[in-house]
Structure 1
């Protein structure tokens, strides 16, 4: 102990299997980020896009090596607006973050998401540096495809297609229907951006017929027998109702937009569909039909 000191004694103990340290998993806390300075300050996003794509390539390679996927990407732009000319003054930076619908480790869909963000970014000053950082990660998905299953599709390819649509048509071009807690059929559903809602599969037994509603319910004339609709005239055509189910009274919203309607679901062999009719104080209306 006197000859080799504390380090020598610790080495001797380790050589004999004496280790009081608790076993832990190796973990890297290094920040995953790539920074690049532009040779000349840029007034447009074109040079920034090239830098972001190259940075994503490096970051994705590192993520794949660690079996991780990116859950959030932050883009920081350093602006050349003269603030850095002051001694010890920090550079003027702006940071914005994008989050894909699901964690992924593929350059193409991540870049499309970043490009959609940059296309909407108004530059207050020229850009002199770009930093791309992976701010959140998740374990990489272990989903694999089946060569013999023709119905299997790569979810990453779908995400890339959605991002291309957002980039070309706008950030709100990819939407999905969501249910709303409303009694009126026209307000029982709405459209929400795909990345704002969870992609969950409906539970078994919850499938219902799809209702296709007209943008504005159309006035119709209806023949009634024994308080049940039997024939209707719609757009100049006479339609015979073979079966009518109803009425179902819906009313409410007295505090903002009161309504009171008697709904009927009517079958017609001529149109080969179930129609949704209602009657209110104004008269009969055709609101849509079911597939």
Structure 2
């Protein structure tokens, strides 16, 4: 037995996380954003026909998901709380028939109403005929018959009403009787969600652009997080009235699912990095702005600990800020891997680092900064000995080792004894003695 929830959201919406949260007219795009954001509760979302007199709202088929949220009462409360948090003023209802849920959500007092299973007709019987929005001809005919409530309408002969009022009469009686209905067509979300805005008239990029951008990013993140995804790459497009279209691709070092971090990354690129034509004496005007999530991945799992979660958000913001400034390909995480050659004992990857499938068999000390080419050392390996290398020097306070590494007999054979040396200034260096040439080299510096 299927159960349907209908969420009625009215004709206004506010943006809770922007400076100006005054109500705006609720448009079709707002319903599409809401539909995709509600995928977190069920994969089955349906929108009424846009030209139908159904008001602003949508259906959720919840038969397979209500138990995951503690039952229907808990689920409808969580849905309404979420819809309120993103700027709508919702009311909801749950019933067997989609149309029953819609009528109750729109016209019954209170934020939520749950019809017991198989009781749709009983509940509808108390509602006035007017909630069906009959035509003037149908209203006059029903008034002549003395029909004022759906319970009275349900007792009329369906064939007689259809002959007199046509399809409208059949539809009204079917609803009043809670007869099986053709289920609404399910909404299919785009694989690459996009938010856009047309500036009419075109405007000079300034604080107003940031205001619009913040709203678009807020809705884009709602679309993405509703399906438990995060953004890896993003495409931003700006159309000007007097210059070529500008394309700005973003590739993030860490998948993003937070609107504040995403907004900061885009703001940095547009207003602090690269060319900024709007800072010229005669700046071009923007006529169109779009922002599209071109690649999505499953959202990273975040620890439940509040402080750990805050720390992770700060790290993600820093990583992506560095990616915007330095280029995302230049921001990597380093993980140790098994290798006989120190130069290949680490691998760069995305942040946060993934656990290696073949971790090192034992804990080994490796420097944070590994020199691409070992540098020759002057001096000997002994406490109190003064060491010199290009652009550096120090006196050995203590040292540990050796760790013997040898290999690559088939190409460039090497045999080395590695040591960790602590200098009198406190820093530690990684050096080795070449067993073939008996010379010392510095290979890395510990943090």
Q: How does 1:241-252 map to 2 (within 5 A)?
A: 244-246=402-404, 248-251=405-408
- Residue 285 (str. 1) matches residue 440 (str. 2): yes
**Which of the two has greater helix per residue?**
2
Q: How does 1:56-205 map to 2 (within 5 A)?
A: 56-62=213-219, 68=226, 71=231, 73-81=234-242, 92-100=244-252, 101-107=254-260, 109-118=261-270, 119-121=273-275, 126-135=284-293, 146=305, 152-165=309-322, 170-171=326-327, 174-177=331-334, 184-189=341-346, 197-202=350-355
The separation in 2 between residues aligned to 1:252 and 1:240, in whole angstroms, is 33
Which whole-Å deviations, capped at 9, do the CAs of 1:212-252 have from their partners, x for residues lacking one? 534632235668xxxxxx99966176788775343x32226
1:33 corresponds in structure 2 to 196
**Which of the two has greater strand per residue?**
1
Contact 1:166/1:174 (<8 A) preserved: yes
The separation in 1 between residues aligned to 2:410 and 2:275, in whole angstroms, is 41
CA, structure 1 residues 284+56, in 2 after alignment: closer, same or farther (shift >3 Å)? same
The separation in 1 between residues aligned to 2:422 and 2:262, in whole angstroms, is 50
Which whole-Å deviations, capped at 9, do the CAs of 1:183-233 have from their partners, x for residues lacking one? 5423544666xxxx242453697564332534632235668xxxxxx9996
Q: How does the TM-score come out when normalised to structure 2?
A: 0.43
1:4 corresponds in structure 2 to 165
- Residue 209 (str. 1) matches residue 365 (str. 2): yes
Which whole-Å deviations, capped at 9, do the CAs of 1:34-82 have from their partners, x for residues lacking one? 2335756x6xxxx26x344212321244357666477254322223348
Contact 1:145/1:153 (<8 A) preserved: no
The separation in 2 between residues aligned to 1:253 and 1:37, in whole angstroms, is 69
The separation in 2 between residues aligned to 1:175 and 1:139, in whole angstroms, is 20
- RMSD (Å) for aligned C-alpha atoms: 4.8
CA, structure 1 residues 283+138, in 2 after alignment: closer, same or farther (shift >3 Å)? closer
RCO higher in structure (CA 8 A, sep ≥6): 1
Q: How does the TM-score come out when normalised to structure 1?
A: 0.61
The separation in 2 between residues aligned to 1:129 and 1:282, in whole angstroms, is 69
The separation in 1 between residues aligned to 2:420 and 2:186, in whole angstroms, is 65
CA, structure 1 residues 182+251, in 2 after alignment: closer, same or farther (shift >3 Å)? same
Q: Secondary structure at the match of 1:75?
A: strand
- Choose 1 or 2 for highest CA Rg: 2
The separation in 2 between residues aligned to 1:275 and 1:135, in whole angstroms, is 44
Flag structure 2 segments of 5+ consecutive residues without an equivalent. Answer: 1-161, 278-282, 389-394
Q: How does 1:228-239 map to 2 (within 5 A)?
A: 235=387
1:86 corresponds in structure 2 to none
> How big is the shift at 1:145?
6.1
